[in-house]
A and B are shown apart, each in its own frame.
Chain A
Amino acid sequence: MSTGAKDHAQLSDIFNKDEARVDWHDETLWFVRAKRDKAANSLPEWEALRETASQIKDNVLSNLHDYLLQFEANAEKNGIKVHWAANGEEHNKIVHSILKESGVNRIVKSKSMLTEECHLNDYLHKNDIEVIDTDLGERIVQLAEEPPSHIVLPCIHKKKEEIGDLFHKHLGTPEGASDPVFLTAAARDHLREKFITRKAAITGVNFAIAETGEFVVCTNEGNADMGAHLADVHIACMGIEKIVPLRKHLSVFLRILTRSATGQPITTYSSHFKKPRPGQTMHIVLVDNGRTTQLGREDFRNSLKCIRCAACMNTCPVYRRSGGHSYHTAIAGPIGSILAPNLDMKNYADLPFASTLCGSCSNVCPVKINIHEQLYKWRQVIVKEGYADPKKAMAMKAMDFTLSNPSIYKFAGKAGRWVLKHAPFTVNNKLNLWYKHREMPESPKQSFGEWYKQNNKND
């Protein structure tokens, strides 16, 4: 996503201009978080499920090499063609070459955050291939020429009236129509025509089973199935960390995925693709794109356990009030903020700071990723590597100098108190970021040190 060179704070400022919308966004996501709580609390074994899911994923990361080979061998035995892509560009080239070989220039695609990460749509568009996103929320942001702002609820930032306007412009619905039932029916008709006429379908992958070579795709709308079962060519794109060792492990992940995401007991469709249907060709593209690097970062490799439920976003006080687009990366929110700096530390140096470190994300994470601790660790890495915002780095340096030098610390305190009392205008201005949403405190007469000395003397 191109945002000029704006960072999270600046992009949040844009989102925060409309206070009523921020409140609405905040409340909508909190509503989803509350549904998650209800679903989680209804299972007495919830914590055991989280622990088991976490341990299965630990095992996957520790044995990823062999599991990938096992998956590849079994998938090929099942008649699926397996491809390997080192990065986003190679992934896009592979997908393009499959389509070219099949003589297809119009395709349907169901939700895949990996293809967002690789900017597949842009790439195919430049190569004269039309991509229709078929998840309703993704179709809406595609018509609006925006990226998704949330990995589960792609157009959560949009009001129904805005969606009505988009549909009026692109699908010919009556002007002013904004009823969700009406708009969904219009999208159903519009997209049915695409499903019926397109010869190739791309889907994401939620889980890929090493033991059997099958992969599972979860949707509520049924769009992945409509695309895949009608197309002559099915291409499934997945990050290498999506592997699960055994088929029976799906029971654990399917129990926690949607309960964490939307509070549903399961998605409407949990489809297990094992073999292409007769006459169909099926491809899987296994993508690295930085994942093997993250695997080698001991402090951050746990982020690869993520199953993309978005619970950490829905609960995050910063995400709810800054909107998904403020993260200027495909995966927003707390988990996105620990994944993105791995790919490009300089460009995403701002993201680990877009958090209060309250820890709510780690508490709701169904695979027990220590998200807020990793955010804190990224901050240290980013400052050490010299990628921190220069203003922030300078302030930290000044703080370090002051705090490690007692006489300067005492003088600084005195000077601060004098300034607050006699020249408040020097700090009560726009240049002081701290003042932006706060009043400066009243200046105390003396420091605690001075008070202690005085009172000790009197004793």
Chain B
Amino acid sequence: MTSREEILAKIKTNQPGARPLPADLTTVPGGMESIMQFKTVLSAIGGAIVEVANFEEITKYIQQEFKDKKRLISTLPELGSVTESGWENKDPHSYEDVDLAVIKAHFGVAENAALWITEDLMQQRVVPFICQQLAVVVNKVDIVATMHDAYNKIGDAEYGFGSFIAGPSKTADIEQSLVLGAHGPKTMTVFLLG
């Protein structure tokens, strides 16, 4: 008998009688207004929020705030004037020196300021993790209240890889002192569009 057969046989003998799945939970109404909460939570977890009306404002912001940075990449054609062209489809290791990556999120979640981003929006999976600083564009209308709403929105979407990203990478492993910028981005800017 293979280990697989052995394990499955033992489970069949030992697993308890059927227990039903519980009813789905939904968002409890009466919480803070979603956009307000998203902004509050994002600041609390070390992210920065920039409210913008259009991509011109994002372009201007990047020109001002990241002007000393050498390597800026983006998956958004609207930001082509301030970011590198032809960076796509290279060896993932080659993005090690990216100073700023600007990508788009499907939506954000108010209760934890997490942004849902799938592979197609990253161009390469490693991009939002390897860059020194990350910026994410999300539409104001695409902020949902809780994770229950988030997974309703994801539904049975097809993707190879997707991630909820909430704030800059961080650690508190040394005496519980919070330090931003563990292995991933040291900062995270969210452009709240609309």
Contact = CB atoms under 8 A, between A and B. Distances in A.
Contact of A61 (B16, B130, B154, B162): B16
B112 interface: yes
Contacts of A191: 183
Q: SS class of chain B's interface: helix, strand, loop or mixed?
A: loop
A252 B119 CA distance: 23
Interface in B129-154: 129-130, 146-148, 150-152, 154
B179 A84 contact: no
Nearest to A211: B156
Contacts of B171: 136-137, 184, 220-221
Contacts of B179: 180-181, 184
A68 B162 CA distance: 22
A22 interface: no
Interface residues of B, number: 72
Nearest to A44: B28
B118 to A, nearest CB: 9
A405 B159 CA distance: 71
Contacts of A184: 171, 174, 179, 181-182
B50 to A, nearest CB: 19
A301 B125 CA distance: 38
Interface string B151-172: 1101010011111111111111
Given A255-B146, A270-B163, A274-B161, A69 B8 contact: yes
Given A86-B7, A136-B171, A221-B184, A265 B19 contact: no
Contact of B22 (A28, A55, A61): A55
A292 B152 CA distance: 33
Interface residues of A, number: 87
Contacts of B24: 248
Given A55-B19, A292-B10, A220 B160 contact: no
A211 B28 CA distance: 26
Interface in B1-19: 2-4, 6-8, 10-19
Contacts of B21: 55-56, 59, 245
A196 interface: yes
A345 interface: no
Interface of A: 28, 31-32, 44-45, 48-49, 51-52, 55-56, 58-59, 61-65, 68-69, 84-86, 90, 134-137, 140, 153-156, 159-160, 163, 180-181, 183-185, 188, 191-192, 195-196, 212, 220-223, 225-226, 229-230, 240, 245, 247-248, 250-252, 254-255, 262, 264-277, 286, 288, 292-293, 295-296, 298, 301
Interface of B: 2-4, 6-8, 10-25, 28, 30, 41, 45, 92-93, 96, 111-114, 119, 124-126, 129-130, 146-148, 150-152, 154, 156, 159-177, 179, 181-185
